[in-house]
Structure 1
Amino acid sequence: MNGSTGTKKIKFIAIGAFDGMHRAHQELFKRAEAIVVIEKGNAQLTPGKVRCEFTKLPCYFFHLKDIKQLDARGFLHLLQEKFPNLQKIVIGYDFAFGKDRKYSIKDLQELFDGEVEVVPEIKIDGISVHSRVIKEFIKEGKIEEANKLLGRPYMIEGKVVKGQGIGKEKLVPTINLQVHNFLLPKEGVYATKTQIDGKIYKSVTFIGHRITTDGSFAVETHILESFEGEPKSARIYFYAFLRPNKAFDSLDALKRQIMQDIQKAKVVLEQV
């Protein structure tokens, strides 16, 4: 569990899996003093404690494997034990809990002496703000649509690893990332920003199989600004899908395309 605020003082909590910490989740947080994350271990938009970076509220984690055998009364007792002055529980319209999501909002309302505030479905441009919807957009390369529901640019992070070496010598220099736990967007080229050691640089990023060269899968980002150094890790923020992954007849043809990608990325990034 994580958080700096003493739990005895906390009266209002928001509960959920909160993968994404998106705009609908933020509506719950406006009504709470702390966040209780039910960690299922399958978060891909904001895995683990990455969630804590997208809120000013203290975050407390309950791992599903530790609580899934509890019935509704046992789950509520656990919450009240952790937050002895609990007066209000804030949940989303589709909240369910317990083994196989057996228990509903109605069960929580019947058992809890305090207030259960249910935040209704949030829609933007007629689209439900839901982690499932955002994930589908990302898988399809629809970055602008995903970002609109997230309320921020989609981000991944990873460890910097050694690349195949062709980029710096014959194409453009890139930083190669090994990414775990985060959902990767559709294969292709993206206008991005890359954060290294706290500083953010404009960049263009490729995700996919390097079908023109060695065929291996890669996440590699080319920094568009002056940059030197050998970072150990990096974050990539996605702004727009530029083109799908495709094969080229030669490295020269690939390089010409990369130059075009860079110009497109610069145009996009001038506007964000």
Structure 2
Amino acid sequence: MRNSTSIAIGGFDGMHIGHQQLFNALDKDGMIVVIETGYANLTPKKEREHFTHFGILYLELESIRHLSGVEFIAFLKEKFPKLQKIVVGYDFHFGKDRKYSHRELKELFDGEVVVVEEVSLHGDSVHSHKIRAKLQIGDILGANAFLGHNYTVKGDVVSGQGIGKKELVATINIEAEEFLMPKEGVYATLTRIDDEEHFHPSVSFVGHRVTTDGSFALESHILDGEVLCKERASISFVNFIRDNKKFASLEELKQAIKKDITIASKELKFLQL
């Protein structure tokens, strides 16, 4: 860290295609400085590290928000003695009450300040809050396009309601409270089991089990055969299939799941797993 000559500063929740533009401006020994606000739920905590080869320094907003512009620069130089370049987005602000912008940063820092302009896709500006909004309406394709990767949640395996394997289909149930859940419904997904490197084609359900016990669930059915998941799993969302729906009987639910599996199988058929 102390040998880094360039840093990119921001919240970087999602590590989306706009963020990647900032990282592209770093030198080969550059580092990413993440300002943790407590609101990151696309890539919470250290999940960001899966989407970059650069090292990451995490700073709590509460520990630096009181700093003046001069104090902030002094703080960065203490962390990075060889600092020559700072990369920020066009909407970057820092200091008490977000008083300072990239303009003051250029005045206060005696090295190079690179300001990355707004990144757009199909005429729509890319922001983390827009990705969250897309996920919450089930626009997985739109969210993934902004992210530059499939939206993925990870969590520990938990016990299900106990009727899946016996009455419906076998599922892996996980708890991923730190992540934003997409709109309630059924999705074509890719599921990674424990420490396996590859993903299994799958169909996943997010939401309240309105036909059975009413509890909230995040569960995935593996399409290429039943697998044993011991501790953790990750679910990567590929496309939305249908809304959550209450069925009159378990038999109706079972038939709907069969249709979901057929649709998901077609969606995932040509993906390189």
Residue 156 in structure 1 maps to residue 153 in structure 2: yes
Q: Which residue of 1 aligns with 2:135?
A: 138
Structure 1 position 191, deviation (Å)? 0.2
Q: Which residue of 2 aligns with 1:4?
A: none
Structure 1 position 97, deviation (Å)? 1.1
Residue 15 in structure 1 maps to residue 14 in structure 2: no
What aligned pairs does 1:10-89 form with structure 2 within 5 A after superposition?
10-32=4-26, 33-89=30-86
Structure 1 position 52, deviation (Å)? 1.1
Distance 1:42 1:177 in 2: 22
Q: Does structure 1 retain, via aligned residues, the 8 Å contact 2:203–2:261?
A: yes
What's the C-alpha RMSD, in Å, of the aligned pairs? 1.0
Q: Does structure 1 retain, via aligned residues, the 8 Å contact 2:131–2:147?
A: yes
Distance 1:13 1:204 in 2: 40
Distance 1:152 1:271 in 2: 17
Q: Which residue of 1 aligns with 2:237?
A: 238
Q: Does structure 1 retain, via aligned residues, the 8 Å contact 2:170–2:226?
A: no
Structure 1 position 227, deviation (Å)? 3.1
Q: What stretches of structure 1 of length at least 5 have no aligned partner?
A: 1-6
Letter in 2 for 1:216: S
**Aligned to 1:107, what secondary structure does the other structure show?**
helix
Q: Which residue of 2 aligns with 1:267?
A: 266
Corresponding residue to 1:99 among 92, 96, 99: 96
**Aligned to 1:49, what secondary structure does the other structure show?**
helix
Distance 1:99 1:173 in 2: 52
- For normalisation by structure 2, the TM-score amounts to 0.95
Q: Which residue of 2 aligns with 1:174?
A: 171
Structure 1 position 8, deviation (Å)? 3.0
Q: What stretches of structure 2 of length at least 5 have no aligned partner?
A: none
Letter in 1 for 2:138: G
Distance 1:79 1:92 in 2: 17
What aligned pairs does 1:202-221 form with structure 2 within 5 A after superposition?
202-221=201-220
Q: Which residue of 2 aligns with 1:3?
A: none
Q: How many residues align?
A: 266
Q: Which residue of 1 aligns with 2:123?
A: 126
Q: Does structure 1 retain, via aligned residues, the 8 Å contact 2:37–2:60?
A: yes
After the TM superposition, which of the residue ranges 212-221 and 226-235 deviates more from structure 2?
226-235
Distance 2:42 2:169 in 1: 29
Distance 1:99 1:180 in 2: 31
Structure 1 position 214, deviation (Å)? 0.5
**Aligned to 1:8, what secondary structure does the other structure show?**
coil
Q: Does structure 1 retain, via aligned residues, the 8 Å contact 2:16–2:148?
A: yes
Distance 1:96 1:228 in 2: 48
Structure 1 position 118, deviation (Å)? 0.3
Letter in 2 for 1:49: K
